[in-house]
Structure 1
């Protein structure tokens, strides 16, 4: 049986960390082959205290205080790089401090590490947080289903750092995080560095590896998150970036052309609406998440609005502030 190390970066996560650690403690993978490393990234709330109290009788857990910064690294990337120094596993699993993992997460990710597979990615959604959280959860599933669709044709896009596993062989082959140029989207950077070294990837769309995240609470915080996302999107090959531009231009296109050809544009918008709704219904049924179905009728409106807003936000926001740090 393979040894697994789980790496969790935590900064000011007092509201979320216990739910995360409780789900990790409930994993069905044998404790004797499991190492959980939690990095406290200079939290100024009681995150570290909560972690210490929770893990005191759990030998598979270890809290590591991050007090220094490795050359050319920052924030979460710096934490994960230092946690990896302590990792003893054959495979490194990454998740976030606001994530709850399913009980069979490890086994159902590991089974896909066939020869020369360097990275396996799962999926994430939200099931709480009112209508705002519901829209975020549907949006995550929509984009992840698109990523999965591209993956079926062998086209890599990105990986989700809150639900990702890499083999130690692949991690060391790229020179670890220290050998990769710093990126605020560290998961994207690691994913593509591993593929550049000739390793294969697997991107799953499977309820057995579905993790649950806490939704972003405010629209301002959501824009900061999406600024980070767009850094990754704008690093994609030009063909895939073109899709980003087309998605972002849909709302202004419908509005502008609607004045010239109202009936035609209304019909096109309605057909696109039906396509998105049908796609989302299929996704939700596949993952057996009926609680999300209530948001499907209005998701299209949120989706085309956010595509446009993310694009404008990326080019107008001068910097990104995340977890109290500016990038």
Structure 2
């Protein structure tokens, strides 16, 4: 009841769109104890005898009023202070159609329940998750706020930190391997500039499109970095061994272009997913691969053509 009242207030204030709680199904233990005390003041045996006398006087059969006797016995039973409070899971038969509602809201512990809140806008930023964390709790009521979008937004600062550390380590590793593979400062610089352009354009595009980083789409930077290295290696190795540059380079550009567009289309299709994490991952990967492809074709190739292969 406290949670429902509080959430109704913040809904009226426009902080949430709506909510759903099992308040209507949750009997207050305090009120149940009070009702039990009131029942204990009623003489159930006298009520039963009065009903029997009335039925006999009016000529009714007792079998027809058996549910009334069952109700009196049940009320007398729950009035006993030693009898535990009723639990939804023990009161409903297994074939009851109300189990879907009980399973939706109640845990194994009848005092552990679940409530659902709908926000006005999707939770996509850390500030939104922090605001919900301040508005939803009720003093004196233990509460755990969860949800896929909420958890992703709440972990954004951690994911940003991990992005910097892991991406930096991977970039150092890739650059070192490229230096060993190429053993040519010119090729190494061209490849590094290509990767920097692809990642930089990806970050700028995500900023312009308001695509926020979350726990899952930070993985896209490592994936884009790896794909950018692959595209560059294909072009550079062909360039190193080429004899007819127009023919040989054209032969490798077509597969690279086809592979890049296929990857962009595949990851871009995740934008239609209903899961916000998959949507963010797909959009980030599609943007990054697109810019890696653009950088490879419009920078790496001209830069290679301007340089002379070492024989």
Query: Which structure dedicates a bigger proportion of its chain to helix?
Result: 2
Which TM-score applies when normalising by structure 2? 0.25
Query: Which structure dedicates a bigger proportion of its chain to strand?
Result: 1
Which TM-score applies when normalising by structure 1? 0.24
Q: Which has the higher contact order (CA 8 A, sep 6+)?
A: 1
> Which protein shows a greater Rg?
2
